[in-house]
Structure 1
Amino acid sequence: MTAINTRRYDIDWIRVIAIGLLLIYHIAIGFQPWGLFIGFIQSENSLSSIWTPMSMLNVWRIPLLFFVSGMGVFFAIRRRNWKALIKERTGRILIPYLFGTACIAPLHIIILQHYYGTKMTYIFNPGHLWFLGNIFVYVLLLSPLFFYLKKHENGKIGIAIKKVFQSPFGFIIIVLALIVEVLMVQPNPYELYAQTWHGFFLGLLAFLFGFCCVYSGKEFWIFILKWRWVLVLVAVGLYVVRYFEFQLNSPDYLMATETCFWVFSVFAFGYKYLNKPSGALSYLSQAAYPVYIIHMAFLYLGSSLIFPLAIPVTLQFVLVVAFTFVGCFGFYELAIRRLWFLRPLFGLKMKAKAE
């Protein structure tokens, strides 16, 4: 596969940033008056003002990760056959998913039960790790197509995909596909991705289109780079309409359109400013995945310790953010990264001895 043969540091950065935003978003839910309703430990004092930026993130933070995951498969299959890809993705995705479902996600549920004085019960549930299960299914479903495109890069289908995604028609197709998905599935609400058919089909489309965007070559990225200001201005405009005209509940077809403009605004500006290596990226790109897996346990633990304190709600938010990030990265650095038997359970390559 000749398209985009150099490492794309911007895609690595976007993945890291998206996971960081995911942590902040989950922390912020605990400060909303409906946090407990969806299973989060909730502060008695709401911080409703942060819902404004949260609602902006809501329509694109998860789709962005699905796009990035599809792009990642493109790079993964350049030097792998289908057996090697399934083996690699089993180790990197399926094993952490199963381990997390059995041993990590139940932890924050137990912390929630203890905090509210309910019966402490072990619940086998993927929780926030539903995303990993989806990704592994997408790999299985789409690998035949991806390897066909790899083998027949200069065939009619491969050339057609490149031509389409090297032009504005590629972006239009993505927008229309996401609109069709919501019109058919009719999610309620649009932002409910976890363990829903909407989340599954939206993720499948984003995963497929993420692959196609990178497969099409450099021209696609030049196109979105050229139109980056239009992309972001339309995204902001759609959010403003959603906020003022529809009180954040605009029709699904508008939300799907807004999703696409935000996602490709991020890709365009990332391509311009983030496509460069750095020591921080090398560290964070490895740490981000284990941190994502364990963050809910530290978030719930921090919330259970900090929410009872008689301190201003803004300070509570700052302390929960600090506790979650320090706890996650501390556990990653002191345990996950250094203990060989933990590394594969969190998606890292096993090493002969601790680092």
Structure 2
Amino acid sequence: MPVTAGNFEAQINLHLEKTRSVMRRHDLDWLRVIVFALLILYHVGMFFVPWGFHIKNNVIYEGIKWPMLFVNQWRLPILFVISGMGTYYALSKRSGGQFAMERIKRLFLPLLVGILFIVPPQVYFERLDKGQFEGAYFDFWPARAFIGIYPEGNFSWHHLWFLPYLLVFSLLLIPSFLYLRNNPQTSLIKRVSRLAARPMGLFWLIVPLYLWESLLEPFFPSTHALWGDWFNVVNYLTLFFYGFLLISVGDIFWRTLAANRRKYLYLGIAGFSLMIGLRMFWEDSTLVHFIEALFKVVNLWAWIMVLFGYASAYLNQSSRTLTYANEAVYPFYILHQTITIAIGFYLMDLDWGFWPKFLIMVVGTFGISWLIYEAVIRRCTWIRPLFGLKNRIQDTSAAA
């Protein structure tokens, strides 16, 4: 039967009704685990590159900034998109009030624990390194650990900034998400469904991202302080909303990604190459900024589509490894940077070269995080909620 506007509309309506009962996608869980694992590698890498970090190696390696820049373009955007998708599943089984309470328990409580106990050692090692404090850790904590706001003071949420952002976004968008959940025939979802049915249709969604990147980013540099961090707030809020919206259109989205993933791969390679070429051969100016902003948003969105496309083709299956890793990833995220910085502090002045230090920090961060998780967090009922886990031993739902 030929496709007409009428029967295409009927297909969308039928699909949207089916979408409400869609089962959880294991590829999203795999992507979440993989991206958080990359985060550990990225934070170890920050010890060696010229970009600002809490402590630095005694030798800086310029070359590794290029693979880190590549990962940096899409690692946080895709996490917010995945988190928006996870919110769709969480809200499908809860009322708005139940969802709000669940978000507070699973995001605010671990954030509070992290601020009080996990982050202070990072600040302590930084103060030792910069000669701003002398003495044992328990001379620093708690007496001085919470005096003043970082970086001038010591109180901070450091790498846990993702949690307050996600909490605020989740609570702020509850009315919109409930409306979309309860009205799958709304014109917004239908429009996105039409875009998702075309190979390049979803690239229209980069228009708001381009506006934020070109008009907000120059005036609001990244601080991760939430208040005043307006580019990040608006940009990540948009990506979080996109995640909920894209999962709402369901199979149309996933089929298009799987069928066109190679096109998105070529586009991502082109976008990243153009962005790097522009940075290397042109001095910064207003015109260059507007051009680079376009390359940047095309690049990050293309790689998000690439990752979703290949994951849907090869990773949409459960396993015992995924079940274990999906629960462990949240405690790993909370713990990892403190362990990385502690190891780095004792390696930073050794003349061992890049690879010995890098491997020790990676293996040490993963290994110590796993020991703490397996021996303590996973097995202690009263500790599990402090790290965002439910009380039962097996929990396959995403924390974010």
Alpha-carbon distance in 1 for matches of 2:199, 2:111: 37
1:305 counterpart letter in structure 2: Y
- Select 1:174's aligned residue among 185, 205, 209: 205
Alpha-carbon distance in 2 for matches of 1:230, 1:159: 24
Q: Which residue of 1 aligns with 2:137?
A: none
User: Deviation at 1:351?
Assistant: 4.5
Alpha-carbon distance in 2 for matches of 1:33, 1:158: 44
Does residue 24 (structure 1) correspond to residue 55 (structure 2)? The answer is no
The worse-fitting range, judged by mean Cα deviation, of 45-54 and 65-74 is 45-54
What is the RMSD computed on CA atoms of the aligned residues? 2.1
Mark the CA change 1:33 to 1:152 in structure 2 (over 3 Å): closer, same or farther: closer
Structure 1 runs not aligned, ≥5 long: none
Structure 2 runs not aligned, ≥5 long: 1-16, 134-139, 146-153, 394-400
> How do 1:53-64 residues align onto structure 2 when only pairs under 5 Å count?
53-64=67-78
Alpha-carbon distance in 1 for matches of 2:90, 2:197: 22
The worse-fitting range, judged by mean Cα deviation, of 6-15 and 250-259 is 250-259
Q: Which residue of 2 aligns with 1:8?
A: 25
Q: Which residue of 1 aligns with 2:271?
A: 238
Between the two proteins, what is the percent identity of the paired residues? 28
3-state SS of 1:59 partner:
helix
3-state SS of 2:50 partner:
coil
- Select 2:224's aligned residue among 167, 180, 194: 194
TM-score, normalised by the number of residues in structure 1: 0.92
Number of equivalences: 348
> How do 1:80-159 residues align onto structure 2 when only pairs under 5 Å count?
80-119=94-133, 120=140, 121-122=144-145, 123-159=154-190
1:2 counterpart letter in structure 2: K
2:217 counterpart letter in structure 1: Q
Partners of 1:166 and 1:216 within 8 A in 2:
no
Does residue 269 (structure 1) correspond to residue 310 (structure 2)? The answer is yes
User: Deviation at 1:19?
Assistant: 0.4
Q: Which residue of 2 aligns with 1:43?
A: 57
3-state SS of 1:178 partner:
helix
Mark the CA change 1:257 to 1:146 in structure 2 (over 3 Å): closer, same or farther: same
Q: Which residue of 1 aligns with 2:329?
A: 288
User: Deviation at 1:25?
Assistant: 0.6
Q: Which residue of 2 aligns with 1:209?
A: 242
Mark the CA change 1:279 to 1:351 in structure 2 (over 3 Å): closer, same or farther: closer
Alpha-carbon distance in 2 for matches of 1:117, 1:350: 42
Alpha-carbon distance in 2 for matches of 1:302, 1:283: 26
Q: Which residue of 2 aligns with 1:218?
A: 251
3-state SS of 1:245 partner:
helix
Hey, which bits of structure 1, 4+ residues long, moved more than 6 A? none
2:46 counterpart letter in structure 1: I
> What whole-Å deviation, never above 9, does each CA across 1:250-298 have from its counterpart, x for those lacking one?
7222212211111111111111111111111111100111110111110
User: Deviation at 1:188?
Assistant: 7.0
Mark the CA change 1:238 to 1:189 in structure 2 (over 3 Å): closer, same or farther: farther
Mark the CA change 1:188 to 1:309 in structure 2 (over 3 Å): closer, same or farther: farther
2:224 counterpart letter in structure 1: A
Alpha-carbon distance in 1 for matches of 2:189, 2:294: 29
Alpha-carbon distance in 2 for matches of 1:134, 1:60: 17
TM-score, normalised by the number of residues in structure 2: 0.82
- Select 1:77's aligned residue among 64, 76, 91: 91
3-state SS of 1:311 partner:
coil
User: Deviation at 1:101?
Assistant: 2.2
Q: Which residue of 2 aligns with 1:342?
A: 383
